[in-house]
């Protein structure tokens, strides 16, 4: 050592800068200011850690398509306990004060006595590589290993860093940092067109890689990245029997709304990957679909569709599929009991052509061509969604005459309702836009996040059967109701084990749990009420089913609930 301060190595991007950026983002509600803050932060990050920093700035601990961190709140608490000596009452107090685990643990960390002498400052590079290690830990003792790896980060973290490490690791940022914001920030940081950043992101699916291209001025080089999931396009709800004025006059495609699980299939010359709506790879659960699409001669493509239990030419009710979802290992008997089919309705890429920014009409023609070119063996578990073209004019009665019989026909075929898609629309992932609509008839339901559970009574004395659930309000979750579970005994038993493993705060007969489980709730009406944080309450709420295909980020919003209020 010659006493000179050594030049910072390229990998040294302090986590403190990231935490300061997040605090600044949290401190403003103005989107534009958030964008400027993230842009300035990303500009200052060295090349080699820019991908990880961009991913963290989007709230993602690991890049999409790679193993996810799977570090729930429970393990984060265990890790924090190992470092900060937290007792139950103080955790309970902190959690109820903050309603957010990251903030609660940061608060506790700021009061904890701990040796800071040996703390090695955290860097983005170190956090990214520890997160990778946590994500890839497998086998017996994996949870222990994950907890101790996370504890190693917490023990070197300042309270602000604790806050964001926990938020990142549990996937619950709640400060308005989202992928869409990072996209705009990258455009600002590197003087690019936001549409070009978005297109590159859709193509390669990894904001970290896109950040590198944006910095190098090479966004146009983004080609089709098979094996990396693309965000799903969603539909806005439409009320059956209304005047359908949400639909602009024009040409539409009508398709059945299938009641299954949304799947994006990447077929890449025998290598097939299936992704769920949460962008997790789920190929292992559906070997027969993977097998069919891996047949020789299947042209390279990324297709979008719905996975159904399908027997004798008809879709089976969702419950059949649910049984399959809960299996860790799928063997031949399951495949025989519940045959699956992927009904495809869109195509996002074929060979080297990106198609998502082509109009739906053109994509539909490409999809039909793709399906026709499939070898017979691939057709065994694959169907093409039937589509009908209609032109909707201004007249409400004429619209009803076109849409309602089509809806009834879809129902008669055993499907849930009707999808109405603008023929000229491009494939726009993420937001519910005004391009795709879903027409359903039954009583309204909301997809809510379970935030607390209680033991039941009588024969349910030993199981966690009463759920308190919430909807999304911005970055927060606000409670909207409580219901006795309408799930089967087997489901309640499985969920009881899950909730016990994922409790955040233990209040005896009631547990505050990690807000990750989504349930579909039916009710008679929704009214204004001061009973719950949302300012709303439901009459006769009941749990219709678990929604393992949805994460908390895809749960219904307070606005969805308000739209259903009976005044
Ligand atoms: P929901 O789950 O009620 O928000 O409805 C949207 C879901 O409908 C999508 O995520 C798909 O899983 C599903 N869906 C069923 N059939 C179609 C279809 N033909 N086109 C698009 N989405 C469909």
Distance from residue 86's CA to the centre of ligand 1 (Å) = 44
- Can you tell me the mean pLDDT for 296-310? 95
Which one is predicted more confidently, 280 or 186?
Answer: 186
pTM for this model (two decimals): 0.73
The residue ranges of DSSP E strands in 217-298, in sequence order, are 234-239, 250-257, 261-268, 271-276
Query: Residue 531 pLDDT > 90, yes or no?
Result: no
Which one is predicted more confidently, 443 or 339?
Answer: 339
234-440 has which CATH code? 3.30.470.30
pLDDT band at 515 (very low <50, low <70, confident <90, very high): very high
Considering the segment(s) 445-562 as one domain, its CATH architecture is: Beta Barrel (2.40)
Distance from residue 438's CA to the centre of ligand 1 (Å) = 7
- CA–CA distance, 400 with 397 (Å, rounded to integer): 5
Given its phi and psi angles, is residue 475 left (phi above 0), alpha (psi -120 to 50 degrees) or beta?
alpha
Q: What is the pLDDT of residue 115?
A: 62
Identify the CATH assignment for 73-170 out of 2.40.10.10, 1.10.10.10, 1.20.1440.130, 1.10.3260.10: 1.10.3260.10
pLDDT band at 8 (very low <50, low <70, confident <90, very high): very low
Distances (CA, A) of 449 to 160, 436, 478, 489, 515: 27, 25, 9, 20, 6
- Can you tell me the mean pLDDT for 525-552? 89
Q: Mean pLDDT, the chain, as a whole number?
A: 90
For the chain, domain boundaries: 10-59+176-221, 73-170, 234-440, 445-562
Query: Residue 413 pLDDT > 90, yes or no?
Result: no
pLDDT band at 5 (very low <50, low <70, confident <90, very high): very low
Indicate the helix (H) or strand (E) that contains 429.
none
Query: Residue 138 pLDDT > 60, yes or no?
Result: yes
346 CB near ligand 1 (under 6 Å)? no
pLDDT band at 116 (very low <50, low <70, confident <90, very high): low
Query: Residue 289 pLDDT > 70, yes or no?
Result: yes
- Can you tell me the mean pLDDT for 514-523? 93
Which one is predicted more confidently, 549 or 318?
Answer: 549
437 CB near ligand 1 (under 6 Å)? no
- Mutation pick for ligand 1 pocket among 232, 255, 258, 275 (CB with most ligand atoms within 8 Å): 258
- CA–CA distance, 471 with 457 (Å, rounded to integer): 26
Dihedral sign, Cα of residue 372, residue 373, residue 379, residue 384: negative
The residue ranges of DSSP E strands in 60-216, in sequence order, are none
Strand, coil or helix: 401: helix
Count other Cβ atoms within 10 Å, centred on residue 463. Answer: 18
- Can you tell me the mean pLDDT for 544-564? 90
427 CB near ligand 1 (under 6 Å)? no
255 CB near ligand 1 (under 6 Å)? yes
Query: Residue 430 pLDDT > 90, yes or no?
Result: no
Dihedral sign, Cα of residue 360, residue 361, residue 362, residue 363: positive
Distance from residue 238's CA to the centre of ligand 1 (Å) = 13
Tokens encoding 156: 């070197």
- Can you tell me the mean pLDDT for 194-200? 92
Q: What is the pLDDT of residue 465?
A: 93
Indicate the helix (H) or strand (E) that contains 113.
none
User: In the chain, pLDDT over 90 holds for what percent of residues?
Assistant: 62
- Can you tell me the mean pLDDT for 41-51? 96
pLDDT band at 2 (very low <50, low <70, confident <90, very high): very low
- Can you tell me the mean pLDDT for 397-423? 92
Distance from residue 257's CA to the centre of ligand 1 (Å) = 6
Q: What is the pLDDT of residue 443?
A: 62
Chain center to CA of 208: 18
Q: What is the pLDDT of residue 144?
A: 93
Strand, coil or helix: 346: strand
- CA–CA distance, 504 with 270 (Å, rounded to integer): 43
CB 536 within 8 A of CB 548: no
Distance from residue 419's CA to the centre of ligand 1 (Å) = 8
Query: Residue 377 pLDDT > 70, yes or no?
Result: yes
Indicate the helix (H) or strand (E) that contains 161.
helix 159-170
Q: What is the pLDDT of residue 10?
A: 45
- Can you tell me the mean pLDDT for 157-164? 96
Shortest-distance atom of ligand 1 to CA 277: 10
Q: What is the pLDDT of residue 416?
A: 85
For the chain, state the CA radius of gyration. 24
Nearest C-alpha to atom 18 of ligand 1 is from which residue? 257
In this predicted model, what pLDDT tens digit does every residue of 439-491 receive, in sequence order? 977 567 899 999 999 998 888 889 999 999 999 998 899 999 999 877 889 99
- Mutation pick for ligand 1 pocket among 237, 306, 321 (CB with most ligand atoms within 8 Å): 306
């Amino acid at each position: 050592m010659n006493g000179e301060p050594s030049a910072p190595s390229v990998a040294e991007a302090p986590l403190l800068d990231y935490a300061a950026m997040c605090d600044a983002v949290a401190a403003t509600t103005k989107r534009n200011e958030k964008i400027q803050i993230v842009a300035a932060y990303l500009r200052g990050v060295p090349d080699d850690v820019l991908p990880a920093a961009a991913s963290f700035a989007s709230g993602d601990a690991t890049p999409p398509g790679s193993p996810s961190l799977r570090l729930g709140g429970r393990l984060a608490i265990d890790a924090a306990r190992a470092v900060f000596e937290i007792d139950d009452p103080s955790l309970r107090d902190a959690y109820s004060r903050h309603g957010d685990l990251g903030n609660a643990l940061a608060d506790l960390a700021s009061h904890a006595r701990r040796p800071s002498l040996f703390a090695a400052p955290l860097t983005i590079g170190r956090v990214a590589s520890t997160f990778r290690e946590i994500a890839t830990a497998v086998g017996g003792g994996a949870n222990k290993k994950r907890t101790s790896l996370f504890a190693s980060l917490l023990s070197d973290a300042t309270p602000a860093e604790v806050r964001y490490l926990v938020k990142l690791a549990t996937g619950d940022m709640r400060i308005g940092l989202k992928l869409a914001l990072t996209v705009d920030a990258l455009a600002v940081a590197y003087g690019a067109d936001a549409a070009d950043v978005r297109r590159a992101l859709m193509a390669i699916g990894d904001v970290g890689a896109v950040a590198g291209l944006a910095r190098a001025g090479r966004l146009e080089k983004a080609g089709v990245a098979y094996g990396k999931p693309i965000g799903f396009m969603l539909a806005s709800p439409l009320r059956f029997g209304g005047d359908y004025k949400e639909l602009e006059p024009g040409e539409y495609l009508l398709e059945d709304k299938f009641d299954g699980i949304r799947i994006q299939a990447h077929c890449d010359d025998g290598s097939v990957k299936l992704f769920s709506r949460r962008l997790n790879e789920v190929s292992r659960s559906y070997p027969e679909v993977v097998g069919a699409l891996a047949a020789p001669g299947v042209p390279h493509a990324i297709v979008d569709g719905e996975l159904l239990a399908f027997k004798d030419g008809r879709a089976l009710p969702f419950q059949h599929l649910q049984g399959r979802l809960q299996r860790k290992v799928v063997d031949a008997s399951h495949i025989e009991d519940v045959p699956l089919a992927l009904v495809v309705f869109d195509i996002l890429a074929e060979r080297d052509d990106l198609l998502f920014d082509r109009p739906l009409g053109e994509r539909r023609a490409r999809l039909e061509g793709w399906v026709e070119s499939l070898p017979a063996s691939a057709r065994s578990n694959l169907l093409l969604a039937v589509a009908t073209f209609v032109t909707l004019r201004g007249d409400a009665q004429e619209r009803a005459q076109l849409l309602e019989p089509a809806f009834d026909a879809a129902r008669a075929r055993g499907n849930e309702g009707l999808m109405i898609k603008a023929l000229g629309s491009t494939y726009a992932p993420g937001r519910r836009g005004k391009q795709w609509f879903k027409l359903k008839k039954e009583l309204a339901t909301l997809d809510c996040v379970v935030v607390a559970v209680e033991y039941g009574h009588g024969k349910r004395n030993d199981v966690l059967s009463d759920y308190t659930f919430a909807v999304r309000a911005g970055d927060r979750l606000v409670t909207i109701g409580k219901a006795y579970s309408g799930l089967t005994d087997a489901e309640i038993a499985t969920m009881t084990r899950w909730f016990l493993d994922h409790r955040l705060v233990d209040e005896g007969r009631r547990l505050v749990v990690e807000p990750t489980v989504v349930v579909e709730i039916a009710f008679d009406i929704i009214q204004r009420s001061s009973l719950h944080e949302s300012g709303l309450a439901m009459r006769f709420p009941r749990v219709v089913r678990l929604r393992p295909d949805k994460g908390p980020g895809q749960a219904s919003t307070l606005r969805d609930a308000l739209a259903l209020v009976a005044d």
